[in-house]
Every structure is written in C-alpha cells, then in structure tokens.
Chain A
Amino acid sequence: MNVNGVEHPAPIDPRRLLADHLRHDLGLTGTHVGCEHGVCGCCTVLLDGEPVRSCLMLGVQAEGHEITTIEGLARDGEPLHPVQQAFHECHGLQCGFCTPGFVMSVVGLLARHPQPTAQQIEEGIAGNLCRCTGYASIRRAVSRAVELRAK
C-alpha cells in the first residue's frame, strides 16, 4: 500500500485494523482512534482520495490503494494545508484529538464541493464527533478553508 506517497507492506495479521496499522506499525500516530466502531470519525483517512474510517477497514484491505493521512497533507517545514490553516485561524480545534479526522473529512468535502453550501458544510462535518468546540468554529473553519483554497 502507498501511504502518503511511500510504499509500505500490508500487515501480516489480517485482523489488524487499518487504523492500528497506520498508528502502531507505520508510526503515523496523527490518525486517532476514538471509538473503533465507526461513529466518531477520529480515524478518518483518505482512501484513493475519498475519506473513509480506518477503524472500519482491515489493514490488508488497503493493499494496492493510496492512503493519505493527516501527516500527508503538509510535509514537515511546509506551510499548513489550507484546511489545516483554516482550522488554526478559526480556533477550530481545542484538544486536537478529533482534529485529524475532521480535517480529512473536510478535505474530502471540498474536493467534492469546492464551493459548498451551508447545508453541504453541515452534512460534510456531520460524520465526525467533537466534544470540545461545539462545532461552531469548525463550521467557520470550513468556510475559511474555501476562501484560502481560492487564493
């Protein structure tokens, strides 16, 4: 599997969840695990460009696919990705645990709807739980990300 542009072998144990494989075998601990039953969205990564839950995929299933994790959006030393930058500017994160999942979901949302309506924003972030922000600042961050991407 290709993770953030680098080829990696799939896990040996077929039951190992993709989230665990990314975090503990590949050391990409930016992908977080919040519920392991697909509800919270903390573990969201891009599978061939589309956001999916990495706790609801086996690691072996990513064989032959491209995975992008939060670490793959902006390389070390590079400026933040527009979605990351927007979360920063709008105080779209507090504890930061749900943040990678939200960012990956929003990257997926904006790829599909570069100029999302308010309802598309609402539904685009509605698959992720955040316990800190109350979502208001995340909504603002999505709107800001649209502006930053247009620049």
Chain B
Amino acid sequence: MTTRWFGAPVQRVEDDRLLRGKGRFTDDIGGALECCFVRSPYAHARVQSIDVSAAREMPGVVAVYTAADLPFGAIDLPLLIPHPNLTHGRTQRCLASEVVRYAGEAVAFVIAETRYLAEDAAELVQVEYEALPVVITPEAAALAEHLVHQDVPGNVAAEMQQVVGDVDAALANAPRRKHLRLRFERGAASPMEARAVWASWSSEERKLTVYDSTQSPTSIRGGLAVLFGLPESSVEVIAPDVGGGFGPKIMLFYPDELLVPFAAMQLGRPVKWTEDRQEHFTAVNQERGQVHEVDVGFDAEGRVLALSDDFIHDGGAYTPYGIILPIITAAQIPGPYRLPSYRVRFRDLYTNATPTSPYRGAGRPHACFVMERTLDAIASDLNLDRIEVRRRNMIRANDFPYDVGVAWQDGNTVVYDSGNYPELLDRALALLGPKPAGDNVGMGIAVYVEGTGVGPYEGAHVQVLVSGKVIAATGIPSQGQAHATVWAQVVADELGVDVEDVEITSGDTRRFPWGVGTFASRGAVTAGNAMHVAARMVAGKAKAIAADHLEANPDDLELAGGRVFVKGSPDKGMPLGAVAVLSNPVRYAFGGGTEAATQFTGRSRPGPPLHDGEQPGLEATGYYSPPGSTWASGCHAAYVRVDAKTFRLEILKYVVVHDCGRVINPLVLQGQIEGGVAQGIGGAFYERLAYDEDGQLRNGSFMEFLMPYATEIPAIEIDHIETPSPLNPLGVKGAGEAGVIPVGAVLASAIEDAMHVPITEMPLSPLKLYELSMLKT
C-alpha cells in the first residue's frame, strides 16, 4: 500500500469548527425543556416517602417523575458484562424508590421550562429518608460489619482466583520473601464537558432522536429500542461533539439516558438534561480504589520466583459494568516481566459510593503500581540497582508471542503479540540523562504493557461521491482523539485521495448503526482497521469498474491523486468521481467526469447494467474483528525534587518511550501521551475523591478536587519505538490510555528515592509526605 498519509503529522481536520466556536456539543442543541434530578443526600438510606406535589404545582414545571411514574420504574438497569464469577451482580433502578446506596443516586426527575426553574422545583420535592449504616472503604466492605445489599453476603459481588505454576512451593522455597500492602484511592475522570442527553420524539414519523454525550451510541440505540418496544429503525442515537470521555461516558445505562427519551415521548416535546459539575462528581462512575496484599519470593539476584497478590476492589454501590476492572488489574500485574509462578485473587466489593467503571487506564495504573513497587522493594532489600532488577526480570525481545496464562477482558488469555521491553528501558534511560545535582532529588522509573484494541469488532462504511470526495462513517464516537483525522489518513491512503477530501462521521447511528464503543484504547485498532478494510474494498471496486471502462486489467490500475489510472500511464485513467458515476447504473450526475460515464460511449459491458452480485455505488462496508488484543508498552522515567520543608513536589524531568506499533499520526500520538501523563500526574499527586465516614464526598467541586493547571504539569520528552502488531493489517496498537498508566508508579519510585520513606499508596500530597517524614523521624 502507499503510505503517503499514514505516519505523517497531519494537522487535524476537526479543528476549524471547534476553534470557531462552531462545535456541536449536546448542550448546544436548544429548543428543549430542561431538567434536573433530585438526588439522594444519603450514602445509604431507606426511602420512606417522596412528595412531589409542591414541585408539580410550581409554575414553569412541566413534569416530575418518580419511580412510581415510570413503566420501567421497577426493573433493574442492565448489567453490561455478566461474568460467571460475578455471582452477586446488582444494578440500580432508574429512580430509587426503596433504598438508596450512594449519595447522588437519583430519586426524582424534574422537567421545567428552564434549568433554573427545574432547580427551584427540585427544592420543593420532599423526600424522607431513614439513614442506614454506611460502608465506605473497601477495607470496611471486606469486614462486612454492614451490608450494602442485604442479599449480598460479605459485600462480595465477585471473587476470582487465577494461578500459574505452584506459587506456594515457589514462595516457600524462595531465598527471600517480602510482603507489601499497596493502596490506591478513588479518582475521577472529570472530562471538561459533563454528561448531557437531548431527545425528541416525532409521533408523525414514529422516530426517536437522541443526542447523547456517550462513548457508545449504537448500544444506547439498541437498549432504547428494546425498552420502548420500537424497531431499531425508529431510534437514532447520535454522539455529537463530546467534550472528553476517558471512560465513564459509557455505562449503559445512566438513568438520564432512559428518562430523557422517555420524557420526550411522554410530553411530545424535546427534552434536554445537562449535568452540572456538582452532580457529575457523584452521579458519574469513578475508579481506582483497590488494596493489594502482595507476597513475593525472589532469589539473591533479584529474580522474581513467585508473586501472589490478594486484592480487594472498591466496586461502589452497583456493578453495572461487571468486573472488568479487577479482571484487567489481575491480568496486567505481571506487565513486561516474567513471573515463573503467579497467583492473583480478587474480591470485588460493594461500598456505599458511586459505582465504578473504567477510567482511562482502567485497572492498569494500580497493576503497574503493584509490580513496580514490588521490584523497587526487591532492589532495596538486596541493595541492588533498581534498573538492573527490572532487566533481570524482563521479557526479552525474542519471547513473543508471550503467553502470560491469565484471563483477559475479552475472554481469551493474555498473549502479548509483540514488543521490545529492554529497548524501551534503554531508550528511556538515555533520554532521562544524568541526575540533576542537589538534595532531595529522586529518580523514578516504570515499565508497563497495555492490552489495547479489544474486540469484538468495529465496522466502517466508505463511499466515494460523484464529486470525488469521500465520506466514511463508523459506529464509535470521538471525544477528542482526532479520529476524523487518523481514519481519514487510513482511507486516503487506500483510495489515493487527499486527506482533506475524506470526511469522517463517527458515532451517528443514522450513518453507521453497528459497533461497540470507544473504550480500551481501541479506536485506531478496531475502527481504524475497519476503515482500512472498507476503503480497500472500495478501491477494489473502483478498479473493477474503471478496468471495464478503460478496457484494462484491474490489477494494472492504481489509485492516486484522486484518479484511477493504468500504472505508469497517468493519462489513461479517469477521476474517482467519474468511477462513482459509473458505479450507479442510473448514471445521472452533476459535475466533472460524467461525460465519461454515459452509457452511450459504446464501452458498456454486455448484459444488465448491474451484474449478479454487484451493488450500485462506489461504496463498501467493512468490518474488522481482532483475533486478540494488541499489547502496547512503554517506559516512563522522571527526576523529581521534594522540598524538605514544604513537601512541594517539583518534577524536574519526565520522559516517555512509547511503543504502540505503527504510528498513524505522530502529532496526535504526542497529544494523547502528553494528556495521559498530565492526567496521571493529577491522579498521583493532586486528585483524589475524599469520602467521609458518612459516605459524603468532601471535595466534589473543582475548587477542592485539584485537577492540575498548566503550572502543575511539566514539559514531557517523548521517544517512540515501533514494533508493529502482527494481528491487524495496519500493524497498529492502541495509544489512548498509555500515558496515564505508569505515572503513579514512577512518581512513587522517585519520591521514595528522594525522601527515603516507603511509598505504598496513591495518590500522594504534601500533607501525606509530611506525615511520612514525621513517621521517619
């Protein structure tokens, strides 16, 4: 294939409208009634009564719904990914009417002419609660003195154990052993756009149109059709511009995703709900709370002989997303290292906090933290160099494919497809350079792998218009990843057109109704390859049609410069737009090239215009279904300084060497990594969700939940290696989550090195470092 666009730092095609303020985010769509939720102020309570009468009577209020008003009020919302080990899966109801299990759980839904009036009316809704005991930390959940769900013994939603090798024997025989207790607290994705849903019902056309800031419009469409008893052809779901996602904009379903369309159908008027920042902090899924108990056995050279990890995962009040998170953690703990024997057990526990589901990194930051902290502990125990310990345990470049032997999120076992981890380490150290002089300076390093591009599949439709322009669509939506640019690069290469002439639509079921969603660093792998497959089909079709017209062999034709022509004879050919005209037997069209397409040229084939098996239009639909995940990898390293008195953290240098296979667009990739690292720094030193013992989130605003500004994020130096994935035609691996994964491990390692205090938890803060330093003295 030609590689003119693939690999080039193409500037984004999305930018112009976004820069002019002409983006179209869900809340930008007007003409709708506005709404607001009444949410539980209690983390755990029995709902004794709900009185909405005063709210209903308030001028400007159109409707107020409670569970009793909903035909689906008594059904549990779907459990997205069931699993045999999820023996006690529980999901919430659209509106709680009996028990609320986290502060922020929706109880009533108020619709008014404006959001201002809806908020006024929500204050008039009287809900009486009987407070119940609150279970807020995973440790408390494990103790099970109180239950989150009365019918779930021990608060255990799921338990799973996997064993590779004879761990007990290996531990018993290991020359040295160590135990570590490692803890990660909850954090939040906090995209700059909170969530929003807009819906309209046309009774004339029997058509429900929903705009939703979701990461999975195709699945929302399917669910709504089933719930409302409509054929899928009567439901369209569009994810327009979405202001960041990072995971939690996919849950299937959030209550609003049902209530807003329902209300629009009931009221016969468009309805819009726009989440505000305050409710986003409690109503949107969170992640990262885990506590690990690690036992490691190793030899005198620092080689790991056995690793056993028993961890608990803070699942939150419900398990709408199944147990994907702890499964990923369990699978990703070994990372780039050989573990001759490995045992991992987890329990996914209910707590009275917002449910959890993947947030960028999705179980991996914790996994990387566990493995890298363990290796640092081994190095410290043996007084060995931390880098050397990593080298001695690392999977080598000729070990691929490498079977880890544990379960992966797609149901297969973890098999690394390709990589070169020692090279990552070497390059990172070279980039990092010598340690800066001065006191209280520390070096940190972490190496990680990331399973990306999970299935089951994505598809794409590619069509050449008679203008010669190309339109292409896929089911998965974008939240800022530059999909429209990178997919256009893939399509442009196959069709030999300019990238500017390819217009991508994503996440609009009207244009492409099949697909899964944007998550798990899978857009480039799954939809990217689907684009490639579909565009290649179109190219083949173009060659076949043009060959017939040019009286040439299709194999002798090539596509370039917007034309199809005989290789070596650019004059003997035709514009792609003319081929598009020829592809439609009606053969009417405006625009250049149509003369060549008339049936009166005498060059038409015998037989009917459309032969058996042929389809009109220069278009094709293609799908790509990966045989397994592609495994990206990387190494981050940093120098930090910790002020000995104020415990302020200064990141002196931060380097990244990254391998995501073949790079489609280095400019976009750089942005993904820089953004990921910044999010990682936030999660490691600034952001944490702090719940009090009553289950109240104490820092649910941007004043208190400390997302870093530019002043807190250093420049990041990036280098790449490319080990193509053998699993897909483009050789690509996912890159979306990579930046965030090892940051906690790197900073922990660096701060430990700087301060000589053991770091066993995330996130950190000046206060935490002060307390650790006090313990030391």
Contacts and interface: CB of A to CB of B under 8 A. Distances in A.
A and B held together in a complex:
yes
Interface of A: 13, 15-16, 23-24, 27-37, 39-40, 42, 69-71, 73-74, 76, 80, 84, 87-89, 91, 93-100, 103, 122-123, 125-139
A147 B667 CA distance: 20
B677 A134 contact: yes
B21 A69 contact: yes
B448 interface: no
B399 interface: no
Contacts of A33: 27
A70 B679 CA distance: 27
B16 A134 contact: no
Given A97-B25, A126-B711, A131 B702 contact: no
B192 A95 contact: yes
Contact of B679 (A84, A99, A134): A134
Interface of B: 11-12, 14-16, 18-25, 27-28, 30, 116, 189-194, 241-244, 246, 276-277, 479-482, 667-668, 670-671, 674-679, 701-703, 707, 709-711, 713, 715-716, 739
A133 B702 contact: no
Given A132-B480, A135-B678, A93 B19 contact: yes
Contacts of B713: 134-136
B28 A133 contact: no
Given A97-B192, A97-B193, A133-B674, A39 B23 contact: no
A73 B22 CA distance: 12
A53 B106 CA distance: 30
Contacts of A89: 11
Nearest to A81: B19
Given A88-B16, A96-B480, A37 B702 contact: yes
A88 B19 contact: yes
Given A29-B25, A93-B480, A134-B675, 4 more contacts: A130-B710, A131-B189, A131-B246, A133-B671
Given A135-B678, A136-B713, A84 B19 contact: yes
B20 A74 contact: yes
A42 B192 contact: yes
A21 to B, nearest CB: 12
13 contacts: A29-B21, A29-B24, A29-B25, A32-B243, A39-B702, A80-B20, A93-B18, A94-B482, A122-B710, A125-B710, A131-B675, A135-B713, A139-B715
Contacts of B480: 93-97, 132
A24 B716 contact: no
Contacts of B23: 30, 96-97
A126 B707 CA distance: 12
Nearest to A15: B116
Contact of B19 (A16, A87, A138): A87
Given A30-B22, A31-B21, A89-B11, A95 B702 contact: no
For the complex of A and B, the 3 pairs showing the least CB-CB separation, nearest first, are A30-B21, A95-B480, A97-B243
A35 B276 CA distance: 7
Contacts of B191: 95, 97, 131
B15 A88 contact: yes
Contacts of A127: 709
B670 A91 contact: yes
Contacts of A122: 710-711
Contacts of A69: 21
Contacts of A40: 192, 277, 702
B20 to A, nearest CB: 6
Chain A at the B interface: SS class? loop
Given A32-B25, A40-B702, A96-B18, A129 B116 contact: no
B703 A80 contact: no
Contact of A131 (B11, B16, B679, B701): B679
Contacts of B189: 131
B192 A129 contact: yes
B510 to A, nearest CB: 22
Nearest to B28: A29
A95 B243 contact: yes
Contacts of A28: 21
A144 to B, nearest CB: 12
B192 A98 contact: yes
Q: Which of B242, B276, B675, B701 has the most CB of A within 10 A?
A: B675
A29 B474 CA distance: 26
Contacts of A31: 21
**Which of A93, A99, A132 has the most CB atoms of chain B within a 10 A radius of its CB?**
A132
Given A30-B21, A130-B192, A95 B710 contact: no
A132 B677 CA distance: 10
B16 A96 contact: no
Nearest to B12: A91
Contacts of B15: 87-88, 93, 96
A41 to B, nearest CB: 9
Contacts of A84: 19-20
B16 A39 contact: no
Contact of A134 (B27, B668, B674): B674
A82 B679 CA distance: 28
Given A93-B19, A97-B192, A135 B710 contact: yes
A135 to B, nearest CB: 4
A127 B709 CA distance: 7
A121 B682 CA distance: 21
Nearest to A129: B707
Contact of A95 (B11, B242, B739): B242
B675 to A, nearest CB: 4
Given A30-B20, A95-B243, A123 B711 contact: yes
Nearest to A27: B30
A104 B30 CA distance: 24
A127 B23 CA distance: 22
Contacts of B678: 133-135
B676 A134 contact: yes
B638 to A, nearest CB: 14
A127 B30 CA distance: 29
Instruction: Please indicate which of the listed interface residues B21, B30, B482 has the most CB atoms of chain A within 10 Å of its own CB.
Output: B21
A128 B244 contact: no
Nearest to A42: B192
B116 A16 contact: yes
B240 to A, nearest CB: 11
Q: Which of B18, B23, B701 has its CB near the most chain A CB atoms (within 10 A)?
A: B18
A37 B710 CA distance: 19
A129 B679 CA distance: 12
A88 B244 contact: no
B20 A34 contact: no
- Of A89, A127, A128, A133, the most chain B CB neighbours within 10 A belong to A133
A126 B193 contact: no
Nearest to A88: B15
Nearest to B667: A91
B193 A95 contact: yes
A94 B709 CA distance: 16
A134 B679 CA distance: 7
Nearest to B191: A131
Contacts of B194: 34
Listed residue (A23, A27, A76, A93) with the most chain B CB atoms within 10 angstroms of its CB: A93
A23 B34 CA distance: 14
Given A80-B16, A88-B16, A96-B14, A126 B21 contact: no
Contacts of B679: 131, 134
A41 B578 CA distance: 49
A91 B668 contact: yes
A127 B712 CA distance: 12
Contacts of A137: 670-671, 674
A40 B159 CA distance: 40
A19 to B, nearest CB: 11
